[in-house]
């Protein structure tokens, strides 16, 4: 964009915002991404951008891993540039081989299936239940074959999954290692212990729409020393992202704060777009959606990104408490409107990354009802069984129904 075009764009945007302000007041919906970014994170990012000489040095990443493992109650933790990469490291650590089968929920992200496919492992999809949207133990049991080598369960929307114990039992009976996908449930607790520690391995995501964020980032954990050594092996071989990529990630954090969270984002969001917009990172490219392994896949987490992670981790408990309080509003909304609440297992403390509700397919297709009557723009995870890639899975009727009807409400307000 030339300077003149930039000014024209900015003036046009602000004129539109002013008209909206005069007509009805600008409506700022609570953000679905970047919701835990604050001024202190902006400070951390700006410091990192100013000190490029430190980018190659890994001690901040090691400290982040140490702090995360202590906070999470995990014996070992290894950071990567994405939850999907942390999962790939788990696949490597478990020694899964081409032709092996893994049981996965048929209601997940395409990048989860990809992490297995990139290693030649065959995903076999089982149905979910509609109480916590977790893997259904009965369906998983029916998918086990002599070639099954692992089982992946997930805790979606921050809820501890209904069949957690049943799935762990099922896997033990068949001698299968369990991977826990905690990408949406960082900090959720089951019987006094954070999720991710009951299976052989667990992983977490710090992508921009998750419980805490480094824009791109993830952590793999395990309680097993031998698996931890294999995780380290994968990590040591993982390339370091190029400085340009690190810079884009940091600038995306600034963009997210000013466009999604800042209380005057109708103004500062447009300024940030002019300053950093070209460098915005997207977490999943189209080629990755289609199942191609991107050239920059599988990287380690560099120190400037870990610095943001450490700052986020220090706030995550406070934010998760706010999320649980916000969920009470959606409980009341469900009760008043006759909608079914998501199930919170007795003995669990959820984190409510989002509050999932089944509405009619028409309501999922056109969300304006929520914008006008509730002042929120709901999320639509998932819009396909392997979100967001157009996909079908066989014989998973509950997953299909959730794709048609499940929307999710934000559980953190915008900046004030
Ligand atoms: C986001 C997400 C992932 C992948 O995490 P990334 O950090 O984006 O790679 C995996 N599983 C679930 C359920 C997710 O929501």
CATH of the domain at 325: 3.90.1150.10
Q: Which atom of ligand 1 is the closest one to the Cα of 206?
A: 7
Measured in angstroms, how far is the CA atom of residue 216 from the centroid of ligand 1? 10
Contacts of 27 (CB under 8 A, 6+ apart): 20, 371, 375
346 domain-assigned: yes
Measured in angstroms, how far is the CA atom of residue 183 from the centroid of ligand 1? 5
| Atom 11 in ligand 1: residue holding the nearest Cα | 183
pLDDT of 26? 78
pLDDT of 391? 87
pLDDT of 56? 84
pLDDT of 359? 98
354 domain-assigned: yes
Pocket of ligand 1 (CB under 6 A): 82-84, 108-109, 111-112, 154, 181, 183-184, 205, 207, 218, 283
pLDDT of 135? 98
Q: Which atom of ligand 1 is the closest one to the Cα of 85?
A: 9
144 domain-assigned: no
123 domain-assigned: no
The CA distance from 215 to 81, in Å, is 9
200 domain-assigned: no
Helix axis angle for 225-237 and 83-93, nearest 10°, is 120
214 domain-assigned: no
pLDDT of 19? 87
Q: Which atom of ligand 1 is the closest one to the Cα of 283?
A: 8
Cβ neighbours of 328 (radius 10 Å):
12
- Of 168, 249, 170, give the one whose Cα is nearest residue 207: 249
Q: Please give the tally of structural domains in the chain.
A: 2
| Atom 7 in ligand 1: residue holding the nearest Cα | 83
pLDDT of 415? 77
Measured in angstroms, how far is the CA atom of residue 207 from the centroid of ligand 1? 7
| Atom 6 in ligand 1: residue holding the nearest Cα | 83
Measured in angstroms, how far is the CA atom of residue 23 from the centroid of ligand 1? 39
| Atom 12 in ligand 1: residue holding the nearest Cα | 183
Measured in angstroms, how far is the CA atom of residue 248 from the centroid of ligand 1? 20
176 domain-assigned: no
Angle subtended at Cα 340 by Cα 335 and Cα 341, rounded to the nearest 5 degrees? 80
Q: Which of 34, 80, 90, 112 to mutate to test the pocket of ligand 1 (most atoms within 8 A of CB)?
A: 112
Q: What is the mean pLDDT of each run of 10 residues along the chain (416 residues)?
A: 89 89 83 97 97 89 98 98 98 98 97 98 98 98 98 98 98 98 98 98 98 98 98 97 96 97 94 93 90 94 97 98 97 97 98 98 96 94 92 94 98 85
pLDDT of 283? 86
Length of the chain (residues): 416
pLDDT of 48? 96
The CA distance from 152 to 117, in Å, is 14
Measured in angstroms, how far is the CA atom of residue 74 from the centroid of ligand 1? 20
Q: Which atom of ligand 1 is the closest one to the Cα of 284?
A: 8
Q: Whole domain around residue 3: which residue ranges?
A: 1-30
71 domain-assigned: no
Q: Which of 210, 219, 296, 297 to mutate to test the pocket of ligand 1 (most atoms within 8 A of CB)?
A: 210
Measured in angstroms, how far is the CA atom of residue 77 from the centroid of ligand 1? 17
Cβ neighbours of 345 (radius 10 Å):
19
pLDDT of 136? 98
Q: Which of 33, 82, 183, 309 to mutate to test the pocket of ligand 1 (most atoms within 8 A of CB)?
A: 183
| Atom 13 in ligand 1: residue holding the nearest Cα | 183
C-alpha dist (Å) from residue 386 to 11, 110, 232, 344, 348: 40, 4, 29, 25, 27
Strands 193-194 and 189-190: antiparallel
Measured in angstroms, how far is the CA atom of residue 376 from the centroid of ligand 1? 23
Which residue is listed with tokens 């920059």? 296
């Amino acid at each position: 964009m030339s300077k003149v075009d930039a000014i024209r764009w900015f003036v046009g945007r602000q004129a539109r915002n002013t008209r909206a302000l005069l007509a009805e007041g600008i409506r700022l919906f609570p953000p679905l991404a970047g919701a835990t970014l604050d001024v202190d994170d902006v400070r951390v990012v700006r410091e990192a951008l100013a000190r490029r000489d430190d980018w190659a040095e890994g001690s901040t990443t090691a400290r982040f891993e140490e702090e995360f493992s202590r906070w999470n109650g995990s014996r070992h933790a290894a950071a990567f540039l994405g939850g999907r990469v942390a999962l790939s490291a788990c696949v490597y650590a478990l020694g899964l081989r081409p032709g092996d089968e893994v049981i996965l929920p048929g209601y997940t992200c395409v990048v989860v299936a990809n992490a297995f496919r990139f290693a030649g492992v065959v995903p076999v999809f089982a149905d979910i239940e509609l109480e916590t949207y977790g893997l259904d133990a009965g369906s998983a049991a029916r998918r086990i074959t002599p070639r099954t080598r692992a089982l992946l369960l997930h805790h979606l929307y921050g809820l501890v999954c209904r069949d957690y114990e049943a799935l762990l039992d099922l896997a033990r009976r068949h001698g299968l290692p369990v991977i826990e996908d905690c990408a949406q449930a960082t900090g959720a607790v089951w019987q006094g212990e954070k999720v991710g520690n009951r299976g052989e391995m667990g992983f977490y995501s710090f992508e921009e729409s998750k419980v805490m964020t480094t824009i791109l980032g993830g952590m793999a954990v395990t309680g097993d020393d031998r698996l931890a050594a294999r995780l380290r092996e994968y990590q040591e071989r993982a390339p370091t992202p190029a400085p340009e990529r690190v810079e884009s990630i940091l600038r995306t954090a600034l963009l997210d704060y000013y466009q999604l969270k800042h209380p005057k984002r109708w103004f500062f969001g447009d300024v940030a777009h002019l300053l950093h917009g070209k460098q915005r990172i997207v977490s999943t490219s189209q080629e990755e959606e289609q199942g191609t392994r991107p050239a920059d896949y599988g990287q380690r987490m560099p120190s400037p990104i870990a610095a943001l992670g450490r700052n986020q981790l220090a706030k995550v408990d406070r934010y998760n408490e706010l999320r649980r309080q916000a969920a009470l509003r959606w409980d009341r909304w469900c009760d008043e409107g006759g909608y079914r609440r998501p199930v919170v297992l007795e003995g669990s403390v959820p984190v409510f990354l989002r509050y999932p509700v089944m509405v009619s397919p028409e309501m999922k297709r056109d969300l304006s009802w929520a914008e006008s009557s509730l002042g929120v723009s709901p999320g639509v995870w998932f819009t396909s069984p392997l979100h967001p890639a157009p996909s079908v899975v066989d014989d998973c009727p509950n997953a299909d129904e959730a794709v048609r009807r499940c929307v999710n409400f934000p559980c953190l307000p915008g900046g004030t």
